[in-house]
Structures are given as structure tokens and as C-alpha cells.
């Protein structure tokens, strides 16, 4: 089995608070017929602050899709060397030990992919395999972990690097004034994340026992991009909230396959697309608010950071000193509507022995913020 070593998360230096978001909304959309309702819904997300790669006044200016994509490449290449070096350090491996590089993003496009740049720039072997993922949205983080684990399980001496680069601020569209778009503008933030997966069953981290994907039929247009000359226009159907609630049996059945119940697990690393995902796990899945606290804190501290979200919560769990054998669900949700699920146990040395007690692990700690 494969071990996911502790992820590293980088948050850019510019911050926009909830108070600033409210002020910005009143300034930019004065006269919008649903403004007060929208601002109330943004407050109710619980997001206290978000991190941006540029000052907020620059983010709200649309300088064209070409310029925004140039910014994506420039900032990604600025952050990635330090990010990957720290992820390698967490795993105890060197760049030449990596067999597969997977990079996920839904906020910029490059060809060749940044995977090729990383292999060259970080000194990885020329036979390192590449797997860029561009169209799974927020679910891509969990999907990339699952795919890399499949690769490592088939090649037990191999190791994989998974990287998420999400600069959601580059997708802001001033002309989109529908309720879903304006709520999203107050929810998404920028971040990068990386984690190494070891196929040799060694190292500290999350030992993955099982994983699955699930596509909810008839919902492929509910979370989407409309691609125009101005770039990506995010579209969100209000029915998404009900789909998440109805997906609880699928999640419960996956956990039952592990001989566990959903509510009895010790840790939950859930993509924090918004509070309703966590609320559904509590009200319809029976998961306690305490068990979901780290996922909720992740949402509060930097908003929805798309595919990087599951990495951020896994990093928080690792910082909270989980006990040997703590049972953990990893869950990502995205376009399709797609669910990516994984089940694992925390281990200090790759052994992953189940815990004999029902303790809840250590006290929560905040995700380490690496600012530039």
C-alpha cells in the first residue's frame, strides 16, 4: 500500500478579509437587486479571509485572458521550486526518487504542462512520467492522490509527486452578476499544495487502504466553465447542495466496505467547497462537528482553494498529531458531478496498524502558512 506524506501548502501574500469582501461587493455591485441576499450568503459561508497572488484591486481588473494566463505561469514558476522542495523534505526523498509527477489545476492552461518544467527544473529523471489533470475542478486533488496511489501500488518501489496550483482570482469575471457567480467571488482563494506518495510503504503519513470514484448521473452541467474570449466563466447550479446531501449513502457504503461506519471515523479531510458539504456530513451522515473541525477551519482560514483543499486539510490533520491508526476519509467534489473518495489510516512508520481505542487524536493546529 501507498503512504501519502504530509502535504505542504503555500498561501500567497495578499489577503482579503470577509469585511473587505463585503465592502467590495457593495462598491462593485451597488444597485444589484439581490445584493443584500448575496452578501448575507457570503457571510454565512464562514470564510474569514482568503489569499491572493495580487492585490485585490488588481484582481478585479480584467486585463484579458492572455495576460491572466501569463500571470498563472509566472506565479506558478515562482512558487513551485520551494513548494516541491519542502514536499520532498517531508517525504525523506530526493527529486531523482520520483517516478510520476501529477499536476492539477483548473485556473490556468499551459502546454507543455508544468510537469515538464518541474522535471527539468527540479532535476528529476528524464524517464519520470507525467500526468497533468486540467478538467476535474475541485475534485482533482483527491483524484490525483487516488491515481498516484494506483500507480504506486502497481509499482511498489516507485514514488509520486502530486501538485495542485490554483489561482482562482485569475478567473474573476466582472460581467458575471448572477447570484452563483457573486457568491463564488466571495468564496474562492488562491493556493498551491504538494504531497509525495511513497510506494514502499515507508514514511510518516496516511496509509491508503481503498479509494473509489463516483459520478452522479445527470448533473454534468451543474458545475462547469463556460469558455469565452474573456476566459473561464464559472457556472454553478443551485441544485448542487441537494446532490451533496443525496450522495451520503454512496459515501457511507464506501466506508462500510472498510468495516467502518461513516460517523465513527477519527479524521475527515473533505474538500471545503462550502459549508453545505460539511453540514450534510453532519446532518445526514452523522459526523460530529468536532470531527469536521479541521475541514471547517480550512474553509474559514482561506476559503475554497479548489483542488488544493484536501491537501490543506490533510496538512492540518498531520499537524494535529494524529494517533497511530487513526481512520481517515478523504473526499473531493467537483464537476461531473464527481466524487473522489479515499480511506486510510495514519501511521508513524508505514505500518498503519489499526488503533485499539476510540480516542480522537490530538488538539487541532492551524495549517502552516508559507508566505512569499
pLDDT per residue as tens digits for the range 65-81: 999 999 999 999 999 99
Is a pLDDT exceeding 60 seen at residue 133? yes
Domains 2-198 and 205-347 share a fold: yes
Question: Tens digit of pLDDT for each residue in 241-260?
Answer: 778 788 889 999 999 999 99
Helix locations, 102-208, DSSP H: 114-121, 140-154, 179-185
Greater pLDDT, 363 or 179: 179
**This prediction's pTM:** 0.90
Q: What angle do CA 329, 335, 336 make, to 5 degrees?
A: 95
Is a pLDDT exceeding 60 seen at residue 189? yes
The span from the first CA to the last CA of the chain, in angstroms, equals 36
**Are β-strands 100-104 and 159-167 bridged in parallel, bridged antiparallel, or unpaired?**
parallel
Is a pLDDT exceeding 50 seen at residue 371? no
Is a pLDDT exceeding 90 seen at residue 238? no
Distance between CA 258 and CA 358 in Å, rounded? 16
Matching residue, cell 474570449? 229
Going from the C-alpha of 274 to that of each of 241, 271, 281, the distances in angstroms are: 9, 8, 12
Q: What is the Cα 242 distance to its own chain's centre?
A: 21
Question: Tens digit of pLDDT for each residue in 263-308?
Answer: 999 999 998 778 888 888 999 989 999 999 999 999 999 999 999 9
**Predicted pLDDT of residue 318:** 95
Is a pLDDT exceeding 50 seen at residue 355? no
Instruction: Give me the chain's average pLDDT, please.
Output: 89
Q: Which of 5, 59, 106, 138 is catalytic?
A: 138
Axis-axis angle for helices 309-319, 293-302 (nearest 10): 120
Question: Tens digit of pLDDT for each residue in 82-112?
Answer: 999 999 999 999 999 999 999 999 999 999 9
Greater pLDDT, 371 or 59: 59
Distance between CA 317 and CA 330 in Å, rounded? 11
**Are β-strands 100-104 and 129-133 bridged in parallel, bridged antiparallel, or unpaired?**
parallel
The DSSP element (H or E) to which 269 belongs, if any, is strand 267-270
Give the count of alpha carbons within 13 A of 68, CB side only: 23
Q: Quickly state the pLDDT bin for 315 (edges 50, 70, 90).
A: very high
**Predicted pLDDT of residue 362:** 31
Residue 168 known to be catalytic:
no
**Predicted pLDDT of residue 349:** 58
Is a pLDDT exceeding 80 seen at residue 40? yes
**In CATH, which of 2.40.50.100, 1.20.1250.20, 3.20.20.120, 3.40.47.10 is domain 2-198?**
3.40.47.10
What DSSP assignment string belongs to 68-127? HHHHHHHHHHHHHHHHHHHHHHHHT--GGG--EEEEE-SS---SS-HHHHHHHHTT--TT
Is a pLDDT exceeding 90 seen at residue 359? no
- Does domain 205-347 fall under CATH 3.40.47.10? My reply is yes
Domains of the chain, by residue range, sit at: 2-198, 205-347
**Predicted pLDDT of residue 62:** 92
**Predicted pLDDT of residue 230:** 86
Q: Quickly state the pLDDT bin for 357 (edges 50, 70, 90).
A: very low
Is a pLDDT exceeding 90 seen at residue 156? no
Amino acid at each position: 500500500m501507498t503512504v501519502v506524506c504530509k502535504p505542504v501548502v503555500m498561501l500567497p501574500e495578499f489577503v482579503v478579509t470577509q469585511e473587505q469582501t463585503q465592502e467590495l461587493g457593495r462598491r462593485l455591485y451597488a444597485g444589484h437587486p439581490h445584493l443584500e441576499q448575496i452578501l448575507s450568503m457570503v457571510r454565512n459561508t464562514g470564510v474569514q479571509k482568503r489569499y491572493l497572488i495580487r492585490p485585490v484591486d488588481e484582481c478585479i481588473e480584467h486585463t484579458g485572458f492572455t495576460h491572466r494566463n501569463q500571470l498563472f505561469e509566472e506565479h506558478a514558476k515562482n512558487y513551485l521550486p520551494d513548494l516541491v522542495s519542502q514536499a520532498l523534505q517531508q517525504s525523506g526523498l530526493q527529486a531523482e526518487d520520483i517516478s510520476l509527477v501529477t499536476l492539477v489545476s483548473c485556473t490556468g492552461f499551459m502546454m507543455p504542462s508544468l510537469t515538464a518544467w518541474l522535471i527539468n527544473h527540479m532535476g528529476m529523471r528524464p524517464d519520470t512520467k507525467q500526468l497533468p489533470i486540467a478538467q476535474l475542478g475541485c475534485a482533482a486533488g483527491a483524484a490525483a492522490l487516488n491515481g498516484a496511489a494506483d500507480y504506486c501500488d502497481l509499482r511498489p518501489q516507485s514514488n509520486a509527486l502530486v501538485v495542485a496550483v490554483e489561482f482562482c482570482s485569475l478567473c474573476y469575471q466582472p460581467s458575471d452578476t448572477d447570484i452563483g457567480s457573486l457568491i463564488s467571488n466571495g468564496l474562492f482563494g488562491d493556493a498551491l499544495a504538494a504531497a509525495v506518495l511513497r510506494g514502499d510503504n515507508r514514511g510518516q503519513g496516511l496509509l491508503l487502504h481503498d479509494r473509489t470514484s463516483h459520478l452522479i448521473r445527470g448533473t454534468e452541467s451543474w458545475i462547469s466553465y463556460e469558455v469565452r474570449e474573456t476566459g473561464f466563466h464559472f457556472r454553478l447550479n443551485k441544485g448542487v447542495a441537494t446532490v451533496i446531501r443525496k450522495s451520503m449513502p454512496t459515501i457511507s457504503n464506501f466506508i462500510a466496505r472498510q468495516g467502518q461506519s461513516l460517523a465513527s471515523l477519527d479524521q475527515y479531510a473533505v474538500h471545503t467547497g462550502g459549508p453545505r458539504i460539511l453540514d450534510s456530513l453532519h446532518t445526514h451522515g452523522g459526523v460530529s462537528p468536532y470531527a469536521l473541525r479541521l475541514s471547517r477551519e480550512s474553509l474559514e482560514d482561506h476559503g475554497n482553494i479548489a483542488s488544493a483543499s484536501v491537501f490543506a486539510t490533510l496538512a492540518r490533520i498531520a499537524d494535529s498529531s494524529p494517533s497511530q491508526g487513526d481512520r481517515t476519509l478523504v473526499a473531493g467534489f467537483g464537476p461531473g458531478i464527481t466524487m473522489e473518495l479515499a480511506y486510510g489510516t495514519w501511521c508513524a512508520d508505514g505500518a498503519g496498524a489499526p488503533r485499539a481505542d476510540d480516542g480522537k487524536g490530538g488538539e487541532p493546529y492551524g495549517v502552516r502558512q508559507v508566505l512569499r
